[in-house]
Structure 1
């Protein structure tokens, strides 16, 4: 039995993927270049989080001498500086310049009179330009966000060709990284290696389960989620590795990594809800109404994730340090996560009420994943209100990966194919699930039919069959013979047969 699917969602995913990959890249202030022409007299250019001792800005500016004289303004994240002037419609250009402290060397006059600007007059095709090439070091008591703006108060607009390289030290691991991104590459590489191990262990366990016809759809979903997680981390490492090399990176690779990360999360979430409803544990089918509800919910969740990525790429203000969940789509995802937990609770309680024999699996399963369901909303709230902005991205990245590792690690342990594992959920063979769903003499069958009596075979986790990984993701065809009865194997416990009290309700 395959899990519920959403045909409309499958048709939507290819164009949504193309849309996300075609989004224009956003300047993230490591290596930045551009050509600015504006009628405004004060314009934000970029931002960067510098270390307390090793921050460095190297620049090259050029603009027509007729547009002289323009200034580069360097604001930091003190409430009296950048927050006081940005998005303040009641403040004019002179007021925004007045918060700058000249004694801190926060103004670079792009003129030949200001020696530190490195400006000189050059002629090109009969037009005189001011060409400025120099640099500036940054010192502060802690890591700070610095914001770079261009101004010419009372003038006739701004025009500037600019190229900036913003760095933190000379190490490969820090040079092009903003201080709030330190450690992200190392963290992603570490978790990539851990998830590769988890994926191969899940494949090995899947091979053992396959040998005893216990490789159920929900376990295949777990393997798929782990594999997609590995791909996601691989693309994140490629992006950050390229970014560490050139300070630019490839935004399409990062968007693809985020899509895969979200896909892994969604597959795992669907697997948890299906297990909560007893699918492949206490029943072999999900009712039509339940399948429709799951399809609608997962489609809505997926679309919200896509909207969140589009919103982050298109509508997040680069002049502000924002977190992913600081958006309507982000709050919508938190609401959907809470709704999923309510559904999960209801499904598990119904399964336990009808099948108390499954307490050794469902009680630790429910306890462990209650923590997981609340981890994401709690992390979002802490990130929004409890973590300093100059350290938020690297901390949130580590916490988020840790949450995913916790979820996959717990499930891998709970489903390890060992006779000593009292929490093991699968005791009915895949061929018996298929046989249980064959139409009866009248040609009808129950869509959410629970496992009938005597379908539980004894579980042996040692198989002498020849490895065949090509059959790992297949389900044997239903047997034409009557359902086999459980027969004891010497030396291993016999799992008791379960007679369901009646069809389970769907929420």
Structure 2
């Protein structure tokens, strides 16, 4: 873990100060086939070290296990007494829920009923290291198993540990827990994002005498598609790294998080601008982009921190919950719903203020379609409640990326140079926009992005840029 932190710290020298704040959180990479760290075990208490979802086979038995676990415990302080290394599974009689730390004393009835495998360890032997090993047999369904340490001597102690768990029948993917997203879906969306990026690059590099191919909204869309493509590539590299090493590669993990979230919030920024009539009823100005940045940048950074915090919270080691069922994940969903409410309010205000039938069609039809970009995560979280817990993360990955690709494709087609949809005024602004800049309560310097737009009022002479 300290080597990972050192690598990240050196690579963060050129990062903005706010991003460096993420690094201590990222370094606690715990949900992997290899888990390493140091933990303080409270006197007479229990600490969950890791969890892993194992595969299943109907004919699994002592000669044909579906999974293996190997741990190494050493450097206990103080160096006397006993402890137990135990394995628990998610059976109804042993599932360690949010009350996991209650009633799990060394000789408690709850521990005896819950533990599926126990190794009693004399702490004095940990100086040279102790290596508990276990084989896992599952015959009904994929199941999470939890590794934990229980103190039996009444002393709080510090233990260094390593835990490695594998699914022996998955071949190249044996390091993968059954709830982890595999490379197949990542390959598919990598190809899809690459195709979208190529199309958008062709659009902005297209030679045209009538279209502003490098209009700011098209440049922003290009950055959005590019961030999604590079972020998915980082996810793919990290996934392959994990398959070989059983651990996330911290730099690619961080890059994937930042870029994918950045692509999402750039898309939301574009849609927020459109909801206020920018590029439709009025031209786009630099201050509009600045206002969108002021609103969305704090939310972007907050969502990154909350997601990573939720993924590596201690509670993830003793529940089958996925990240969006943690308090941090629910906050991320609330952020998306809040931005959606802002978008919808602006959209309704723009529709009421607009008098042109063609532009009204955007606010009435396309605007409502694009609202799905704000709801893809909340809706997918609701959908996955009907799926088995070990496939929920993959379902959310597929649904959210599919929705992101669809909305990017709609914008790429809708903004295509020389063939842009008629309600966009980025290539050939309407006579009203060219001459007057359009009824300018909407263009007032003091008006903020969260204030509802108004197209009613006096006209102000202002040439479109």
**With structure 2 as the length reference, what TM-score do the two structures score?**
0.76
Quote the residue 1:481 is aligned against: none
Q: Which residue is 2:60 aligned to?
A: none
1:264 CA displacement = 0.8
Q: 1:285 to 1:205 in 2, by over 3 A?
A: closer
The counterpart of 1:98, out of the listed 112, 136, 146, is 112
* Residue number in structure 1 paired with 2:366: 365
1:49 is aligned to 53
User: What's the CA shift string for 1:16-55, capped at 9, x where partnerless?
Assistant: 2122134322222411234555343333221111111422
> Could you tell me which residue of structure 2 aligns to residue 79 of structure 1?
92
Counterparts in 2 of 1:504 and 1:192: CA distance versus 1, 3 Å: farther
Matches within 5 A, 1:419-438: 419=419, 425-426=424-425, 428-429=427-428
- Say whether the 8 Å CA contact 1:61–1:162 is kept in structure 2: yes
Partner of 2:9: none
* C-alpha contact 2:167 2:174 (8 A) present in aligned 1: yes
Q: Alpha-carbon deviations, 1:404-426, whole Å to 9, x = none?
A: 1121122223333465x766634
Check 1:366–1:296 CA distance in 2 against 1; reply closer, same or farther (3 A cut): same
SS at match of 1:136: strand
Matches within 5 A, 1:401-416: 401-416=401-416
- Aligned residue in 2 for 1:177: 176
- Distance in 2 (alpha carbons) for counterparts of 1:312 and 1:433: 50
Following superposition, the deviation at residue 85 of structure 1 comes to 8.5
Which secondary structure state, in structure 2, belongs to the residue aligned with residue 278 of structure 1?
A: coil
CA distance in 2 between partners of 1:279 and 1:128 (Å): 67
Correspondence list, 1:341-420, <5 A = 341-352=340-351, 353-359=354-360, 361-383=362-384, 385-417=385-417, 419=419
Q: Which residue of 1 aligns with 2:200?
A: 202
- Specify the SS of the correspondent of 1:390: helix
Q: Deviations over 1:425-446 (max 9, x none)?
A: 34644899997689xxxxxx96
Q: Secondary structure at the match of 1:180?
A: coil
User: C-alpha displacement at 1:100, in angstroms?
Assistant: 3.2
Residues 265-320 of structure 1 deviation map (CA, whole Å, 9 limit, x = unaligned)? 111111011112221222125697x7786454224423432441453366452423
The whole-number CA distance in structure 1 between the counterparts of 2:402 and 2:201 is 21
Look up the match of 1:461.
none
Asked whether the equivalents of residues 48 and 146 of structure 1 are also in contact (C-alpha less than 8 Å), the reply is yes
Q: Is the 8 A contact 1:67 1:159 kept in 2?
A: no
CA distance in 2, matches of 1:401, 1:366: 20
Please say if 1:298 is aligned against 2:296.
yes
Looking at structure 1, the residues matched to 305 and 186 of structure 2 have their Cα atoms a distance apart, in angstroms, of: 25
Q: Distance in 2 between matches of 1:36 and 1:336?
A: 34
Please give the residue correspondences for 1:442-457 in structure 2 after superposition, counting only pairs within 5 Å: 448=442
Cα pair 1:21 1:252 within 8 Å, conserved: no
Q: Aligned Cα RMSD in Å?
A: 3.9
| Unmatched tracts of structure 2, length 5 or more | 1-14, 58-65, 445-454, 461-465
2: CA distance, partners of 1:247 / 1:504: 63
How far apart are the structure 2 equivalents of 1:304 and 1:106? 40
Residue equivalent to 1:26: 29
Where does 1:103-142 land on structure 2 (aligned, <5 Å)?
106-110=117-121, 131-132=130-131, 134-142=133-141
Structure 1 gaps, min length 5: 1-12, 112-118, 439-444, 451-499
- Cα distance 1:349–1:325, how it changes in 2: closer, same or farther (>3 A)? same
Q: Is the 8 A contact 1:195 1:229 kept in 2?
A: yes
Aligned to 2:22, what secondary structure does the other structure show?
A: helix
